Structure 1
Amino acid sequence: MVLKLKWLKHKPKGRSGVSWGVPWERGILNREETLCLMDDNGKKTPIQSWPMAYWPDGTVKWTGHSAVFLANEQSYELTVGKTQIPESPLQVIDSENQIIVDTGEIQCIINKQGTNFIEEIVSDSKVIGNKGKLISIQEVRDETSGKKTIQEIPLESNIKDAIVEQNGSVKCVIKIDGEHETISSNHKQTWLPFQLRIYFYAGTSSIKMVHTFFYDGNPQTDFIKGLGMEFSIPLSGEAWNRHIRFAGDVGIYSEPAQLMLTRRHRNADGLYEKQISGEIVNLFDKQHQPLLEHVQQNAIWNDFKLTQDSADHYRIMKRTNNGYSWVESTHGTRAKGLIYAGGESGGIGIGVKNFWQKFPSTLEVIGLNRADTKLKIWFWSPDFEAMDLRHYSNETHVVSAYEGFDEMRATPYGIANTSEVFLQCYTVVPSHEELVEKAEEWQSPPLLVCEPTYYYETKALGVWSLPDTSHPIKAQLELELDKAISFYKCEIDQRRWYGFWNYGDVMHTYDSVRHQWRYDLGGFAWQNTELVPNIWLWYAFLRSGREDIFMMAEAMTRHTSEVDVYHFGEYAGLGSRHNVVHWGCGCKEARISMAGLHKYYYFLTTDERTRDLLIEVRDADQALANLDPMREFYPDHQYKTHARVGPDWAAFCSNWLSEWERTENTAYRDKISTGIEVLKQLPLRLLSGPNFGYNPVTNELLHMGDGNSGAYHMVIAFGGPQAWMELSQLLEDDEWDDMLVEFGEFYVLSEEEKLIRSNGILHDKLFSLPMLAAGMVAFAAAKKKDPSLAKKAWKLLLDEEISEMKLPIEEKEVKAWRHLTEVSTITTNTTSQWCLNTIIALELIGEYLSSDQHLSNNENIKLLNEMK
């Protein structure tokens, strides 16, 4: 058994720690077996491995891995064998008050209490950096008596707990929890809880940090003016040998604290050019005495900052000291998010992933020529206006603007935002080229992945197809799938869907009259996982292996799992439906936060923060006890709370499946079985309801009649079919499969047949938007091997009057306030569901498109012409 691995985009440029996950086919990998990693030459690479999920038979379903790589091999092989241990394993000492990590290249002291999460970083017996802490600024506004005053209150981190979360020979992870606290001792105030993970790899001089902050304020009064991280750097050397460097659009912008350029010495044997390139220059010999005298009269610039204030602009400024004016240095477009501050003996480089995409952000150094230089990174720049997390309106707009409820529940209390930070220690002054390579690597960290065919063969992530262009219609479908991805990839940039709170989300519905998305119209604005574009993007990546799609899916996962979801408070475990403001809709539901939207990222990258989110939602059904999703329809019903078969119970199934496969806790499998067994006993089985009473204590669906309020498209539009098809593979329950078949088949029956089979209860009006059911119909056709049912499934996808998906996708140029490219009929709901169902149908019933036995040539030609 040999598993081939390749780099997603690029191999490391130097020594780099990498973590990744791989799936295994059922029955292949036993839990007691160890794994080894070999390069192209058959040489073993030290690796650290652990199980991430299991199949029902107890064999391993997913494994996580960490290794340190050099800039050499393009691909690797993972196989069963004796694990190679590093010659100098990572060392971790966990004491009462501190955790000490020794990578062999650096030693880092981490505090378990206090302000500084990193006390100091040492390399070659020399302190490279220290006093690493989180910082924030609260803006307090007062507008009484007709005067507006603003007070800015600085806060810093207060550590509550720090633990060694993972400790191995290759990688260790330290998890820190705390909150921000005012610096003044007169009145202690705490807010903005945080979680910080710090990653170390054996033999490396770099550190990775994953920072999550949670909002726990009142949006009407508690404004965040700044949010960031600070380190102290004990630099050495003369002012002219201390440098600040920023990664700009393509290269490095470099300046010293004191210029060697003077009125009478313009380059001095090339020394000035060397200085700007970052080299260390000696001016204390006799030859350069005249130059030295002039240089020492030049101003010393202590403070520098690069502020990315939009997706298209950054500004670099500097000043001599506090109390003096900032001077503009230059402007640029999209900075690569790296800052280096160093002296004659090296320094520190820090990078922020998605720096310009998540503006407003700032990289700053204070006191470059002082004994204690401060290096700050701001996730939210204090040079920008404070975060405004208030709602956009004082009322809901349910009827006119597709908002969910008349109730005003537009609160950000409990939402979060996660950022990734990288730190590199330099004991030797780095070149510009080294910093450029590091900046590019940090924006797209190296990741090992499998070939799409391998992911497909393991069946570890549900039902999806590999690309197939063997038949004209299949080729056209693949082209349309590619065009859909390309459109949204370009649209993200064209419409500037960027920013700290927005990056990763896309808009819901287009307005071709304004040539603008309906960003200001209630439920038509931000998508917020509606109709699961996340799953579409992850399937698109799995079947293609494309790095650009991975980045889109990664950004969407980071955003929708943090910003659109409540992590504590009254809505904990639930998420907010689509709205002008991400957290604005009165609908707070489990379908937005369900595990099946986000687990792909966890399994592919081993990201611990995403694992936290999967754990958070495992008991999301308990939130229904306080917030009934069907409260509008059953305000005084006999049951306290309710659940629809989908999206509510389907989302719970997704959550429980995730917990069961990751932990083997069969209690969560039994929760799924409880609902299934209830449905089995009902005359209409999965077609029952679709609304039920729900008991969060027993996880029971409580039957309250069939054909009741709601519609069956809600059952299948939010990831339910994907969770249920995956359960079909795991439960091996023939009756459950038959229930899925029955549901799919029923959706495309004539009204007369629906009424007959349901004893007059179910009718066509309950089964709207049939394209959304194409995957379920395809499942039924595949299980029954029914050509006529397969044709109905394909008709749902290819008949524009049914699908509401205009094919082919055609972009056109328009001249509005600027030149734009648009698809005038586009909606993300339709596009994501059409793509998702097409990917599933190609797997389950693709044969019925290409076989004359099942579809005549004339019908093939007709379908192809319809698409053209």
Structure 2
Amino acid sequence: MIPIDVASKRGETIPVPSRPAKRMQAIPLAVEGGWASPAPGPVTVGLPFPAGMLANPGGLSLRDPDGRPATLQARTLARWPDGSAKWVLLDFIATQDPERRAAWSLELRTADPARAEATPLRVAQADGAIEVDTGAVVFRLDRSTFPLAGARVGGEDVLDPGSTSAVLVDRSGRPRPPRVEALAMEEAGPVRVTVRVEGGFPGRSPCRFLARLCFFAGTGLVRLRFTVVNPRRPRHPGGLWDLGDPGSIRFRDLSLSVGLSGPGEAALSWSAEEGQPPRSAPGGPLEIYQDSSGGEHWQSRNHVDYLGRIPVAFRGYRLRLGGIEERGLRAEPIVSIRGPLGQLTAAMPEFWHQFPKAVEADGRALRLRLFPGQAVGDFELQGGEQKTHSAWLHVGPPGTTPIDPLGWARRPARAFASPDWYAKSGAVPYLTAPPSIPSPRTDALLGGILDGDRSLPTRRETVDEYGWRHFGEVHADHEEAYYDGPRPIVSHYNNQYDMVLGFAVHALRTADARWADLLDALARHVIDIDIYHTDRDKAAYNGGLFWHTDHYRDAASSTHRSFSSANRPPGRDYGGGPSNEHNYTTGLLHYHYLTGDPQARDAVLSLADWVVGMDDGSRNVLGVVDDGPTGLASQTAEADYHGPGRGAGNSVNALLDAWLLTREPGYLAKAEELIRRVVHPEDDLPALDLLDAERRWSYTVFLSVLSRYLALKAEAGEVDPVYAYAQAALVHYARWMAEHEAPYLDHPDRLEYPTETWAAQDLRKANILRLASAHADEPLRPAMLRKADALGDRAWADLTGFPSRDVARSVALVMLEGLREEHLRRRPPDAAPRPAFDCPTGPPSAFRGQKRRVFDQLKRPGGLIVASVRIADPTRWVRYLDWRRAVPARRPPR
């Protein structure tokens, strides 16, 4: 084995900040546990820092509640333009206390920040294998045995490789063992080591998988996150995305097994639910199987399968030990087996939430059934769908107290700085920290979101928004307003107005773990289920994000993919797929900053790459004639409309997020290309008919993103000609808004559905005017602010007048736009930088998409000749076919 100095893996080349460093005071960190346990548990949290404060996170130190130094791992996730740390990921080990928030303290060391932390964690690699020595256990990973090839405790091999396996059972009942193709150390530090494993299950169910195993200093803990992916494309005939598509993969079971070495049968201990004391037995077999959510609506048609069945057999879970069977509603099991050489304990977070699940103990082995064969019927992983399951393992000596090593795993600790720290860091724009900037209207409307009969957790129960595909989703209760089917409507909110970002912002401004719980569940759902994880479909869809399910219709068997054959109206076009109008990335970006989750980072980049790909005219057959931009990234509502709208706005926003993650100039250049395509400082605004609410309401989404673009460019010190162009365009549109805009509900007759959402949308108008005022001079600036106040007051009055003011769509808007409106009302933005040069623009020119350009060309005699010559050019076909052949090349799952 070749030893690797773990501390040295943390080294970075740090740019020297261009501004004087701010003095860092001690930062209190509140660590909140939800379950009393004498065993330590890992804590991972992202923390923002003000610009210029922290050059090197290696200089940070941590003290526990008793003032003792604690081992800390710190890694920069994002930097300010001056090179200082903006977001830092912290890892440390803490004990749990459900009764109080333990007060930890983060400080900046005065000693040499480059010195290594004292840590027992060591890593070695040789011959394709990796050994991780945590100081308590030496774990071994290789390609022949997954998930673990071995574990030594006190020099003894306590795991049996013959009992350790991962198996997918196909529809015919044949086991398909995994083929590990890549094994690599992804991250190493003094607290945590992460090993990434990639491979596939060959055969009739050719799933891909990605696993990340984390090991923690001084412990026998292993965190396993296992993602199974169907990389195939569905056929989606007519743009319909029902279960049962030929591109789906169906299988019977997917399980992981880990066994103890040594003679005889292992002693058994378990606790099936939180609050239940541990129970013991001399041996097994033990089965704890969760068949349904256990809730009142456990048989909801939300769970319908491709055969039209609701594949649940009974309410809750069953526990079988030998010939004895017990029943319960919601299991959160911890199971432990103890042999002569060691003890193995396992827990599966969200066991009942993400049913069906099973954990079994038999002889000397634990089996974790991620997709259990006990369930009714097959499991269907749709084309481009993936699912990530998590499990905790603990390996220890035989004297370990049963259950205790993972007693905290049901409610892992969360760490928060103060809301004031988050606000003052400047890392999240317009973040308010009560009571310094009160937000009474927002807080009043959101007052029941966490508790009570109208809380989001309570609303989950309405349609049983649980199960491996649904948990984390928000029930779209606003869709009931014009729904004439059986109640409640099964409708999924999915992706509209970035509810992930809303949850993140409110978790920071309140330091309330309940907001963080909502954030965590929804972000993981979006990453797994809502993103289209394939590169084998057309460029317009590959890697994209699916819409919310169809308005005022039951989701039927489309799950979270918008269009179902059950809803197809006779004699009308119907259907579609991922589109630029529902591409939300900023919440996922901040989820990555707050958790370090690499899947969230990859999701943001995937969605930005989708924008680039969908607009690349060379990636479809029309590119043989015209390989210019398709226009799919900039269109909104209509194929030929490339003015300001949510389609272009969301595309630009995704590209900005990818630029923030990578600082790759190509992302910013593409964003600026779209800005110049969509708006112009001399646009004929009456001709755009922006007051046509049904067709053009979302122009405000684009202007909001344009404001963000200007702020990010100014922050980066890039006040260049494109900045000047965008600034002039924003002021041009905002001047028109100040003169002509009115509340939507002034003319309800112009609205197809005059709901509370229109009032909430008016909040964005007020915010745009305030943001644009930073770029305007007298007398326009005060006029904009007066109009913003009037629109904001009217929006709140209209919104609170609706009994349905707190439905999901309204909540999504108020979490962000409402909070921003109250912040900007009290603190209007400072004047933005002005370029020291005139902005040369030229007259506006209308953009035409690829299809329109080709169609117009083929109508002209000369154009037809040019097209014929291009079609006959073999080099154009070679380029297109090369791209098509490259599509099925398997990328590592993200």
Choose which of 560, 564, 568 in structure 2 pairs with 1:582: 560
Choose which of 765, 773, 784 in structure 2 pairs with 1:773: 765
Aligned partners of 1:638, 1:385: CA distance in 2, in Å?
A: 50
Pair 1:647-2:613 in alignment: no
* Counterpart AA for 2:660: E
Aligned-pair distance for 1:516?
Answer: 9.4
The correspondence of residues 340-419 of structure 1 with structure 2, limited to 5 A, is 340-343=336-339, 346-366=342-362, 368=363, 373-387=364-378, 389=380, 412-419=382-389
Pair 1:159-2:180 in alignment: yes
Aligned partners of 2:655, 2:741: CA distance in 1, in Å?
A: 35
Aligned-pair distance for 1:125?
Answer: 1.9
Describe the SS at the equivalent of 1:749: helix
The correspondence of residues 138-287 of structure 1 with structure 2, limited to 5 A, is 138-139=170-171, 151-181=172-202, 188-189=203-204, 191-216=206-231, 219-220=244-245, 222-234=249-261, 242-252=267-277, 254-257=279-282
Describe the SS at the equivalent of 1:598: helix
The correspondence of residues 770-849 of structure 1 with structure 2, limited to 5 A, is 770-781=762-773, 789-790=784-785, 792-799=787-794, 805-807=799-801, 827-846=807-826
1:422: which partner in 2? 392
2:17: which partner in 1? none
Distance 1:536 1:687, change over 3 A: farther
1:334: which partner in 2? 330
* Counterpart AA for 2:105: Y
Instruction: Write the deviation string for residues 620-650 of structure 1: whole angstroms up to 9, x where unpaired.
Output: 2233147999x9xxxx999633314443433
* Counterpart AA for 1:452: P
2:12: which partner in 1? none
1:284: which partner in 2? none
1:480: which partner in 2? 445
For the 8 Å contact 2:73–2:90, the answer to whether it is kept is yes
Aligned partners of 1:352, 1:169: CA distance in 2, in Å?
A: 26
Pair 1:730-2:715 in alignment: yes
Describe the SS at the equivalent of 1:501: coil
Pair 1:448-2:421 in alignment: no
Aligned partners of 1:206, 1:738: CA distance in 2, in Å?
A: 56
Gaps of 5+ in 2: 1-23, 235-243, 296-314, 550-554, 564-575, 636-643, 744-757, 829-894
Choose which of 99, 102, 105 in structure 1 pairs with 2:130: 99
Aligned partners of 1:516, 1:444: CA distance in 2, in Å?
A: 39
* Counterpart AA for 1:602: H
1:854: which partner in 2? none
For the 8 Å contact 2:285–2:360, the answer to whether it is kept is no
For the 8 Å contact 1:307–1:363, the answer to whether it is kept is no
Describe the SS at the equivalent of 2:799: coil
Q: In proportion to residue count, which structure has more strand? A: 1
For the 8 Å contact 2:585–2:657, the answer to whether it is kept is yes
* Counterpart AA for 1:624: M
Distance 1:505 1:583, change over 3 A: same
Choose which of 310, 318, 340 in structure 1 pairs with 2:320: 318
1:136: which partner in 2? 168
Describe the SS at the equivalent of 1:14: strand
Deviates more, 1:551-560 or 1:708-717: 708-717
Deviates more, 1:603-612 or 1:158-167: 603-612
* Counterpart AA for 1:499: G
Instruction: Write the deviation string for residues 493-535 of structure 1: whole angstroms up to 9, x where unpaired.
Output: 45432111011111222426999997757xxx21111122222
Aligned partners of 1:250, 1:721: CA distance in 2, in Å?
A: 51
Describe the SS at the equivalent of 2:505: helix
For the 8 Å contact 1:740–1:780, the answer to whether it is kept is yes
2:465: which partner in 1? 497
1:79: which partner in 2? 108
Choose which of 281, 288, 302 in structure 1 pairs with 2:285: 302
Describe the SS at the equivalent of 1:384: coil
* Counterpart AA for 1:805: L
Choose which of 39, 59, 74 in structure 2 pairs with 1:14: 39
TM-score, normalising length from structure 2? 0.70
Aligned partners of 1:302, 1:786: CA distance in 2, in Å?
A: 74
Aligned partners of 2:742, 2:209: CA distance in 1, in Å?
A: 58
Aligned partners of 1:554, 1:708: CA distance in 2, in Å?
A: 34
Instruction: Write the deviation string for residues 583-627 of structure 1: whole angstroms up to 9, x where unpaired.
Output: 243230245454312011111111222222233233222331479
Aligned partners of 1:204, 1:751: CA distance in 2, in Å?
A: 61
Distance 1:676 1:220, change over 3 A: closer
Aligned partners of 1:38, 1:333: CA distance in 2, in Å?
A: 41
Aligned partners of 2:83, 2:544: CA distance in 1, in Å?
A: 31
Aligned partners of 1:249, 1:335: CA distance in 2, in Å?
A: 8
Gaps of 5+ in 1: 140-150, 182-187, 259-300, 321-326, 391-411, 692-705, 754-766, 811-823, 849-868
For the 8 Å contact 1:316–1:329, the answer to whether it is kept is yes
Aligned partners of 2:361, 2:345: CA distance in 1, in Å?
A: 11
Distance 1:628 1:97, change over 3 A: closer
2:14: which partner in 1? none
Aligned partners of 1:621, 1:710: CA distance in 2, in Å?
A: 22
Choose which of 600, 617, 620 in structure 2 pairs with 1:610: 600
Pair 1:2-2:35 in alignment: no
Choose which of 3, 19, 27 in structure 1 pairs with 2:52: 27
Distance 1:595 1:729, change over 3 A: farther
Distance 1:388 1:514, change over 3 A: farther
Describe the SS at the equivalent of 1:27: coil
The correspondence of residues 656-667 of structure 1 with structure 2, limited to 5 A, is 656-667=655-666
Identity %: 16
Distance 1:751 1:598, change over 3 A: closer
How many residues get paired?
A: 701
* Counterpart AA for 1:165: E
Choose which of 517, 521, 527 in structure 2 pairs with 1:561: 527
Distance 1:242 1:607, change over 3 A: same
1:851: which partner in 2? none
Aligned-pair distance for 1:582?
Answer: 0.6
Distance 1:740 1:253, change over 3 A: farther
2:494: which partner in 1? 528
For the 8 Å contact 1:771–1:803, the answer to whether it is kept is no
Deviates more, 1:607-616 or 1:735-744: 735-744
Aligned-pair distance for 1:86?
Answer: 4.4
Distance 1:719 1:164, change over 3 A: farther
Aligned partners of 2:504, 2:614: CA distance in 1, in Å?
A: 29
Describe the SS at the equivalent of 1:574: coil
Distance 1:477 1:649, change over 3 A: closer
Aligned partners of 1:475, 1:48: CA distance in 2, in Å?
A: 38
Distance 1:726 1:542, change over 3 A: farther
For the 8 Å contact 2:527–2:599, the answer to whether it is kept is no
Instruction: Write the deviation string for residues 7-65 of structure 1: whole angstroms up to 9, x where unpaired.
Output: 35228743333322211212222258732223355543222222211122222211222
Aligned partners of 1:807, 1:484: CA distance in 2, in Å?
A: 18
Aligned-pair distance for 1:161?
Answer: 0.5
Aligned partners of 1:159, 1:583: CA distance in 2, in Å?
A: 31
* Counterpart AA for 1:565: I
Distance 1:803 1:683, change over 3 A: farther
* Counterpart AA for 2:696: A
Instruction: Write the deviation string for residues 444-467 of structure 1: whole angstroms up to 9, x where unpaired.
Output: 322332211111112212333223
* Counterpart AA for 1:384: A
1:267: which partner in 2? none
The correspondence of residues 702-741 of structure 1 with structure 2, limited to 5 A, is 710-713=695-698, 716=701, 720=705, 723-724=708-709, 727=712, 730-731=715-716, 733=719, 735=724, 736-737=726-727, 739-741=729-731
Aligned partners of 1:549, 1:713: CA distance in 2, in Å?
A: 28
